[in-house]
């Protein structure tokens, strides 16, 4: 490509003539700021090259193209696109249209793509590129019938209509439009029977609309007719697994990954299913096979590393993760897991180094939290806090997450008053942050300040009336800290209606009923809570209810089991000592 300065000189010299040399199209998507290809004008030839045909542009069109490219050089891509569209409309030159289309695509300009595709099809009604773009844009505008019309035109031309790509996009559509698209596909299949891609797409749509059995039924004749149609083979494995036919799914994919060892998508699906089923060594073998075949695919190497880590093969996991980090692939995930390996090995300094190398993404705050905890364990709490505060100042958009990190670090060190102060400081700047407010409520409760805890929890509930966690916490605090049992029960009942299987809420419900003297229904809730979550505090409540119901021996069994988990649990020890040492039998 020529830079804009030579292009500008060449074309300005040509303004008095018919115009500058034609813009040449390319088979790949160029960057937006790539300059227009220019060549020598007139009858001049490039040595050893065949003659090139040139388009003659009027000065107005040439001016639009020049200003478009100058705008691109200055980063004004919006001006570039507008001028290219105008040049395309005035010149009706397909190379200009194509160039404009690629710019529109790189800028995600849907309206521009629609206009350009319509123009292109006026000039060249059978152009595949324009037809495909028109189909995609029609889907984005929810004009599904029009989209299928463009695809049917592609099919009638004997080309691949990409039915499966359009079907896959249905996952982003509302349910009623998914059904509409499925109906249109069925009508298309009736008009064009026996098209494998169309049959496969209908099965994919049936999966998306939540009908895996019908999807499987649609696939069966397709796979009998075309047993080597690999997308359908993959989809069948996925559908079998989705239909709770795990063994069939695994056997199906095991056989077919051996039939088609080069199919990366199939192998990856099989490996992930093996992980889900706890077949970790088999999963590791599968990902190892894929890595050997596709050594330059970072995602496969990461999966291989993580399953090796789960299998306790730390050297292999470390080797694979180190390769990823060195090559600059999945660096945040790699550094996080390398940190975990060193952390669990007791290599604190190395672990901190890896954790601090995580720069962003989902692993950033877990890494920072763990690095802070390790620094604190080495007696460097002040440094850990200074680091968090410094990063909070440098990243104001993430300030709330840094505040939470600071509060949790102080809590872990049992510095409750300092944690309250941090949470209060955070709420000055972020009063609507419910996580921080909830954390402060729990701290107030721990500091025997239930009125302040209640105020924070009520503020959360005012903002989010269906917050089951806050409703339950408020009900439990009122149960344990006040005599307002009816009010407490009302909050807990609301929480239970929102989350009826939550063992913490079941425990609260049982405990408030016990405090109200309703021992039998209390036992029903407490036994359910203990069965779902055998926690020492639940054991304390359940055991006390059993004790007062006369089932003292059973209470002792529950307490003994809980003590094996945590022999120093404060609530559990207090309950046992109070009931067994004071004669309350």
Q: DSSP of 360-428, one letter per residue?
A: SSTTHHHHHHHHHHHHHHTT-HHHHHHHHHHHHHH-GGGHHHHHHHHHHHHHHTT-HHHHHHHHHHHHH
Q: Where are the domains of the chain?
A: 1-125, 501-585
Question: Which has the closest alpha carbon to 66: 113, 18, 115, 19?
Answer: 19
Across 54-63, 256-265, 391-400, 515-524, least confident range: 54-63
Rounded Cα–Cα distance for residues 494 and 454 (Å): 16
CA distances for 202 relative to 35, 216, 238, angstroms: 43, 11, 15
């075949």: which residue's tokens?
293
Rounded to an integer, what is the distance from CA 38 to the centroid of its chain?
A: 44
Residue 430's CB: how many other CB atoms inside 10 A?
16
Q: Phi and psi for 35 in degrees, rounded to 5?
A: -80, 160
Portion of the chain with pLDDT greater than 70, in percent: 90
Q: State the Cα–Cα distance between residues 530 and 190, nearest whole angstrom.
A: 57
Number of Cβ within 10 Å of residue 265's Cβ equals 11
Q: Report the CATH architecture of 501-585.
A: Alpha Horseshoe (1.25)
- By the 8 A CB rule, do 510 and 525 touch? yes
Residue 12 has a pLDDT of 30
Confidence of residue 195 (pLDDT cuts 50, 70, 90): confident
Where is pLDDT greater, at 509 or 84? 509
- The rounded percent of the chain whose pLDDT value lies above 90 is 63
Burial code (b: 16+ CB inside 10 Å, e: under 16) for 510-520 equals: bbbbbbeeebe
**Sign of the CA dihedral running 174, 179, 183, 189:** positive
* Residue range 77-104: mean pLDDT, rounded: 89
Summarised one tens digit per residue, pLDDT across range 131-190 is 889 888 888 888 888 888 888 888 888 887 778 877 887 778 888 888 888 888 888 889
User: What is the rounded distance in angstroms from the CA atom of residue 265 to the CA atom of residue 569?
Assistant: 49
pLDDT-wise least confident of 17-31, 297-311, 385-399: 17-31
For residue 268, what pLDDT band results from cuts at 50, 70 and 90? very high
Structure tokens at 295: 């050594």
Higher pLDDT, 283 or 169: 283
**Structure letter (DSSP) for residue 172:** G
Helix axes 280-293, 298-310, angle to 10 degrees: 150
Count of residues in the chain: 585
Q: Answer positive or negative: Cα dihedral of 385, 388, 394, 395.
A: negative
3-state secondary structure of 71: helix
What pLDDT is recorded for position 138? 86
Mean pLDDT of 314-333: 94
CA distances from 413 to 374, 387, 419, 449, 514 (A): 12, 17, 10, 20, 34
Helix, coil or strand: residue 541: helix
CA angle 179, 180, 185 (to 5 degrees): 95
Task: Give residue for tokens 């009010």.
Answer: 487
Burial group, residue 436, by CB count within 10 angstroms (0-12, 13-18, 19+): buried
531-577: pLDDT as tens digits: 999 999 999 999 999 999 999 999 999 999 999 988 889 999 999 99
pLDDT computed for residue 477 by the predictor: 96
- The rounded distance, in Å, linking the Cα atoms of 307 and 280 is 7
- pLDDT tens string 7-32: 333 333 233 223 333 333 333 333 43
- Other C-beta atoms within 10 Å of 294: how many? 16
- pLDDT of 56 reads 67
Rounded to whole angstroms, how far apart are CA atoms 196 and 198?
A: 5
- Other CB atoms within 10 A of residue 162 CB: 19
pLDDT of residue 188: 85
pLDDT of 301 reads 95
pLDDT of residue 354: 95
Which position has the token pair 């790189």? Answer: 106
Give, as one character, the DSSP assignment of residue 114.
H
C-alpha distances (whole Å) from 422 to each of 365, 417, 427, 481, 570 are 18, 9, 9, 25, 26
pTM: 0.70
């Amino acid at each position: 490509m020529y830079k804009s300065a030579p292009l500008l000189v060449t074309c300005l010299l040509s303004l008095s003539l018919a115009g500058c040399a034609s813009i040449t199209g390319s088979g790949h998507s160029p960057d937006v700021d790539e300059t227009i290809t220019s060549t020598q004008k007139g009858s001049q030839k490039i040595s050893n090259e065949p003659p090139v045909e040139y388009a003659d542009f009027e000065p107005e069109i040439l001016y639009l193209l020049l200003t478009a490219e100058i705008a691109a050089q200055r980063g004004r891509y919006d001006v570039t696109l507008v001028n290219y569209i105008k040049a395309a409309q005035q010149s009706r030159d397909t190379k200009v249209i194509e160039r404009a289309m690629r710019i529109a695509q790189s800028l995600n300009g849907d309206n521009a793509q629609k206009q350009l595709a319509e123009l292109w099809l006026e000039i060249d009604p059978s152009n595949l590129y324009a037809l495909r773009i028109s189909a995609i844009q029609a889907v984005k505008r929810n004009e599904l019938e029009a989209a299928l019309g463009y695809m049917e035109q592609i099919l009638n031309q004997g080309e691949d209509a990409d039915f499966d790509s359009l079907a896959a996009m249905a996952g982003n559509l509302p349910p009623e439009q998914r059904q509409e698209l499925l109906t249109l596909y069925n009508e298309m299949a009736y008009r064009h029977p026996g098209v494998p891609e169309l049959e496969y797409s209908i099965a994919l749509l049936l999966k998306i609309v939540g009908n895996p059995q019908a999807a499987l039924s649609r696939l069966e004749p397709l796979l009998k007719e075309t047993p080597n149609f690999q997308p359908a083979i993959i989809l069948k494995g996925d559908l079998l697994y989705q239909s709770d036919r795990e063994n069939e799914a695994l056997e199906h994919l095991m056989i077919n990954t051996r039939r088609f060892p080069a199919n990366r998508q199939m192998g990856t699906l099989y490996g992930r299913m093996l992980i889900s089923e706890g077949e970790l060594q088999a999963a590791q073998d599968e990902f190892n096979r894929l890595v050997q075949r596709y050594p330059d695919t970072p995602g496969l190497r990461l999966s291989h590393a993580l399953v090796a880590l789960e299998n306790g093969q730390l050297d292999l996991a470390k080797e694979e993760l180190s390769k990823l980090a060195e090559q600059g692939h999945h660096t945040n995930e790699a550094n996080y897991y390398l940190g975990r390996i060193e952390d669990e090995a007791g290599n604190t300094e190395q672990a901190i180094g890896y954790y601090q190398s995580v720069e962003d993404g989902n692993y950033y705050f877990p890494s920072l939290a763990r690095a802070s905890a390790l620094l604190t364990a080495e007696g460097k709490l002040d440094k850990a806090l200074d680091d968090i505060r410094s990063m909070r100042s440098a990243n104001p958009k993430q300030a709330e997450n840094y505040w939470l990190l600071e509060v949790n670090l102080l809590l872990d060190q049992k510095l409750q008053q300092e944690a309250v102060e941090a949470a209060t400081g955070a709420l000055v700047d972020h009063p609507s942050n419910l996580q921080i407010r909830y954390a402060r409520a729990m701290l107030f409760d721990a500091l025997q300040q239930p009125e302040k805890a209640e105020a924070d929890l009520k503020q959360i509930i005012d903002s989010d009336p269906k917050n089951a966690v806050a409703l339950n916490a408020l009900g439990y605090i009122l149960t344990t800290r006040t005599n307002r049992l009816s009010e407490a029960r009302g909050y807990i009942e609301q929480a239970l209606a929102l989350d009826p299987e939550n063992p913490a809420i079941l425990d609260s419900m049982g405990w408030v009923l016990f405090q109200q003297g309703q021992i039998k229904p209390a036992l029903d809730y407490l036994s359910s809570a203990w069965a779902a979550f055998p926690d020492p505090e639940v054991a304390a409540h359940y055991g006390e209810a059993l004790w007062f119901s006369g089932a003292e021996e059973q209470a002792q069994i529950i307490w003994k089991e809980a003590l094996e988990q945590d022999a120093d649990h404060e609530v559990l020890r207090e309950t046992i000592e109070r009931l067994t040492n004071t004669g309350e039998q």
